[in-house]
Amino acid sequence: MNKFSVLKCIEMKESDYDGPCVILACVSDPSFLLFFPLNKDSSKMINYVLDKNSKYDINTSVLGIYKTMVDSWRASDRFLSGILMDAVWNAELNEDVLSIRLAISDKSGEIESMVHVNFVHGVLLAAMEDVGVIVSDRLLSKMMPDSENNSKETRKKNTPHFPEDKKIVDIAKKIMSGKIKDK
């Protein structure tokens, strides 16, 4: 398992993808970055939350929903202790899918529940609460650029399924491999 922190979203421009990406930086090696494409609205929300001068509360439109959720956890002596990203097998689709789970802990630090959420919700909550995103070794190996042990055929067969954007893993691989073309 590898711990990552959420960095600001950036605009990418390359042949296969033109749009915003959120960056996750490895805590133990900050030069190791993961790039995930997402929509403009989500990237604006994440950047707003990450801006140290931004004040958000229950009245801040969409962010108010997340703030209310976090406040309700705190009111019952619970807190978000981390976020787990993994690739899990889906028998119906006959392929791996991305699984994002929130680890909710009690006041003594024991994990009380694991709640499934989508990618954007997980990253946004990680940014709001300044908690780490744990990325499994299995998911990382599926996302790594071409290598002798990670051939294109093997990766294509084992690439996790992303319901919102089926090309997200391929786009992330190209970005991480440095194969970005300037227009």
**All domains of the chain, ordered by start, with CATH?**
2-177 (3.10.690.10)
Residue-averaged pLDDT of the chain:
80
Single-letter amino acid, residue 162: F
More confident position, 127 or 158: 127
The predicted model gives 72-93 an average pLDDT of 90
- In what helix (H) or strand (E) does residue 166 lie, and over which residues does it extend? none
Does the pLDDT value for residue 135 go beyond 90? yes
Report whether pLDDT(44) > 70: yes
Tokens 């786009």 identify what position?
171
**Between the CA of residue 114 and those of 84, 122, 130, 140, 168, what are the distances in Å?**
9, 12, 18, 21, 24
Q: What residues pair up with 100 in beta bridges, in sequence order?
A: 85, 117
Measuring CA to CA, how many Å separate 70 from each of 104, 110, 119, 131?
10, 17, 17, 13
- Going by pLDDT thresholds of 50, 70 and 90, the confidence category of residue 164 is very low
Lowest mean pLDDT among 14-18, 57-61, 147-151: 147-151
Quote the pLDDT of residue 155: 46
CA distance 16 to 29: 27
Q: Is the separation of the CB atoms in 104 and 131 below 8 Å?
A: no
What are 5-43's pLDDT values in tens digits?
Answer: 999 899 988 767 888 999 999 999 888 999 899 988 889
Report the pLDDT value the prediction gives residue 60, as an integer from 0 to 100: 61
Both tokens of 31, joined, read 């030069």
Name the pTM for this structure. Answer: 0.72
Which residue has better confidence, 158 or 175? 175
Task: Tell me the sheet residues that pair with 79.
Answer: 105
Q: What is the DSSP letter of 160?
A: P
Higher pLDDT, 167 or 170: 170
**Residues in CB range of 41: below 8 A, 6 or more apart:** none
**CA–CA separation, 113 and 101 (whole Å):** 9
Higher pLDDT, 64 or 80: 80
3-state secondary structure of 144: coil
pLDDT at 162: 44
Q: Which has the minimum average pLDDT: 60-64, 78-82, 86-90, 123-127? A: 60-64
Kindly indicate the confidence band of residue 85, based on its pLDDT and cuts at 50, 70 and 90: very high
Whether 156 and 106 have beta carbons less than 8 Å apart is answered as no
Tokens found for residue 94: 């006959």
